[in-house]
């Protein structure tokens, strides 16, 4: 089903019947993607006295309890509340859900013992396009990203000046296939998070970071429309389902 979207006085046609889902789901398997040193998610029947919320166990319905951490267990979207002492909810700060997005692919550079995304790499990849949303796919890009165990592996991250460039370029919604935009063990500095949200200035309350996406190689770099679907949790972060639509 094709539809026309107007953005900045320009019309774009997309086919809603051809979504490109770039999220990683939450499962109850040990192989569920994971970071930040915690156990795998749990999805299991609720138990209370003799009741077990499972049809195979004799209940009339399946009635599961779910335990997970949005930052550790799958694709999630976060607001500045992630690093703020004041409560900020992604549900209250994200008010629009369709954005013109640019997908780029970068190979993190070696810097000392780290792999980093630099300002120069972003400048070369983005060019003169000014998208509201930026989707970054890193290389190498294998299916193993769907179930990788990231704790204590020092994954790639964005340098502070790279994130400052993204902010000054006007990107309001950043999506990455990494567990964090910052170094795994950085003594709580969170330089990239703070730069993106302009944390020490006029804070960008409506800006979001989405982590733990996976963009298959079959999806080529370029411009798309992004539907950023976020579960309505009153929390700094929420499980999310970013979906791209090719511009016809």
Summarize pLDDT for 94-152 with one digit per residue, the tens: 999 999 999 999 999 999 999 999 999 999 999 888 899 999 999 999 999 999 999 99
Which residue segment(s) compose the domain that 154 sits in?
A: 2-23+73-246
* Domain membership flag for residue 30: no
DSSP codes of every residue in 142-209: -GGGGT-B-TTS---EE-HHHHHHHHHHT--EEEESSS-SS-SSSTT--HHHHHHTTTTSS--TT-EE
Beta bridge partners of 229: 241
Q: Quick check: is 108 in a domain? A: yes
CATH number at residue 123: 3.50.30.50
Q: Does residue 31 sit within a domain?
A: no
Which pLDDT belongs to residue 12?
A: 87
Q: For residue 151, is it within any domain?
A: yes
Residues 206-218 have a mean pLDDT of 98
Q: What is the largest CA-CA distance in the chain?
A: 63
Strands 237-246 and 222-230: antiparallel
- The arithmetic mean of pLDDT across residues 209-225, rounded, is 98
Cα–Cα dist 244/99, whole Å: 10
**pLDDT grade, residue 19 (50/70/90)?**
very high
| Cβ–Cβ < 8 Å for 137, 103 | yes
In-domain check, residue 49: no
Residue 190 pLDDT level (bands cut at 50, 70, 90): very high
Residue 101 domain-assigned? yes
pLDDT band at 10 (very low <50, low <70, confident <90, very high): confident
Mean per-residue pLDDT over the chain, rounded: 96
Positive or negative, the CA dihedral 213, 218, 223, 227 is: negative
Number of independent structural domains in the chain:
1
Q: What is the mean pLDDT of residues 77-81?
A: 98
Residue 39 lies in a domain: no
Residue whose token pair is 């567990």: 179
Instruction: Report the pLDDT value the prediction gives residue 2, as an integer from 0 to 100.
Output: 87
For 242, phi then psi, to 5°, come to -75, 130
Average pLDDT over residues 64-73: 98
Q: Is residue 100 part of a domain?
A: yes
Tokens of 59: 């209940």
């Amino acid at each position: 089903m094709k539809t026309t979207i107007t953005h900045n006085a320009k019309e774009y046609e997309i086919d809603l019947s051809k979504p490109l889902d770039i999220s990683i789901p939450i499962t109850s398997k040990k192989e569920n993607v994971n970071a930040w040193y915690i156990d795998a998610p749990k999805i299991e029947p609720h138990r209370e006295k003799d009741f077990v919320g499972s049809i195979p166990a004799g209940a009339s319905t399946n009635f599961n309890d779910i335990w997970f951490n949005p930052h550790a267990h799958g694709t999630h979207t976060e607001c500045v509340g992630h690093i703020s002492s004041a409560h900020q909810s992604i549900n209250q700060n994200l008010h629009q859900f369709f954005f013109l997005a640019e997908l780029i692919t970068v190979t993190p550079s070696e810097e000392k013992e780290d792999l980093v995304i630099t300002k120069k790499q972003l400048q070369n990849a983005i060019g003169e396009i000014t998208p509201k949303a930026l989707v970054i796919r890193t290389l190498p890009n294998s299916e193993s990203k769907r179930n990788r165990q990231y704790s204590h592996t020092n994954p790639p991250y964005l340098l502070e000046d790279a994130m400052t460039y993204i902010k000054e370029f006007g990107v309001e919604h950043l999506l990455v296939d990494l567990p964090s935009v910052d170094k795994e063990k950085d003594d709580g500095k969170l330089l990239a998070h703070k730069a993106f949200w302009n944390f020490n200035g006029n804070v960008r309350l409506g800006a979001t970071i989405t982590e733990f996406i996976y963009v298959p190689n079959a999806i080529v770099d370029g411009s798309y429309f992004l539907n950023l679907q976020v579960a309505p949790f009153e929390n700094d972060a929420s499980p999310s389902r970013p979906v791209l639509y090719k511009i016809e």
